[in-house]
Amino acid sequence: MSAGHRLQLNEIPYGPPDSVRDALSRALASANRYPEFFPQRLPRLIAERLGCAPDRIVMGAGATGVIMHIVQEFGSGGAEVVMAAPTFDGYPILVSMAGGRPIAVPLTGDGRQDLPALAAAVTERTRLLVVCSPHNPTGTLVTPTEFEWLLRSVPASVTVVLDEAYVDFVAAGDRIAVFDLLDRYPNLLVLRTFSKAYGLAALRVGYAVGAPEIVERIARWQLPFGMTALAEVAVRACYEAEAEIEARIAVLGAHRDRLTAGLRELGLCVPDSYANFSYLTLPAAEADRVATALAGADIHVKTYPTGIRITVGDRPATDAVLSAVRSTVQ
């Protein structure tokens, strides 16, 4: 296991499908040419796929790039941004970079976002509220009923971000009907990425969907020539390889369930995950001990004050994790 297992960034363990790789290889012949000044073809491509107008799509360098534009517009100048804790590290970091103030709301004991507490944390200084579903790092899901309750409970002056970076791993019947909500709540933004299920993390392709007015405000922060031409090529090729990508997602779901079940068989607390990772809930001291054992086996994971997030890899990676964790509890 000299190469180790990189299970800390929620990357999928596969390279692009052969058809996507071939499309990218052909596109390299035009690497001497600049991409579009601001992305237009890519938003049209995604909008056509989603069944919405292109003026409801704003692009960024991965979901993180879109988040940066969102907080530049809505989270600067001392504005408060309400979010769960822990959550995706990008939120508190980028809000602080933009001059905003992250307001952290603890998760519930079972690793879920506390929506009533998030709503209660909103003040007259709040400009943004962030919900991740599936949640990073616990993998837990916000139900459609819960999320619409939150939208009704939050003032229209507060922009609500629904981060769906891992939505492709969620069964269709468990997903929030975001376009229905977008039509009724103009303060809603839905964030997605091609870095996870589509396996394009290195190409940095993310987007948000929202009302044209809010999208236009975010888009003004875009960097000219900021999206590579390879991004458009890769997204188009991934859409054409959808059957292969869905098969990969199914395999990863089976590996996730095996990892979760294996950890639970060791007597450990792991919430049901709807993403491509499992969260091992442990007190900080015990989490450090387990993380040290994993590191000793050259397994790289992400630690939090409340536990350890373990990305789902291939079968050998799952075997290695379960073996290393077993050695710490026996």
Q: What domains are defined for the chain? A: 5-14+243-329 (3.90.1150.10), 18-240 (3.40.640.10)
Angle subtended by helix axes 90-97 and 62-74, to nearest 10: 40
Q: How much is the pLDDT for 285?
A: 83
Q: Name residue 224's amino acid.
A: P
Q: How much is the pLDDT for 235?
A: 96
Q: How much is the pLDDT for 2?
A: 45
Q: How much is the pLDDT for 284?
A: 82
**Cα-based distances in Å from 122 to 83, 100, 127, 158:** 10, 14, 9, 8
Inter-residue contact 58 to 207 (CB < 8 Å): yes
DSSP 307-323: EEEEE---HHHHHHHHH
CA dist 294 and 323 (Å) reads 9
Statement: the pTM of the whole predicted model exceeds 0.85? yes
Q: How much is the pLDDT for 26?
A: 96
Inter-residue contact 205 to 59 (CB < 8 Å): yes
Q: How much is the pLDDT for 330?
A: 66
Place of tokens 């303060």: 187
CA 299 to chain centre: 22
Q: How much is the pLDDT for 3?
A: 64
Biggest distance spanned by C-alpha atoms of the chain: 59
**Mean pLDDT of residues grouped by 10 in the chain (330 residues)?**
79 92 94 92 96 96 96 94 96 96 95 97 97 97 96 97 97 94 96 95 96 96 92 95 95 96 95 96 88 93 93 94 89
Name the residue among 70, 95, 74, 73 with its Cα closest to residue 83. 95
Q: Which residues contact 154 (CB under 8 A, 6 or more apart)?
A: 119, 122, 129, 160, 187
CA dist 292 and 300 (Å) reads 10
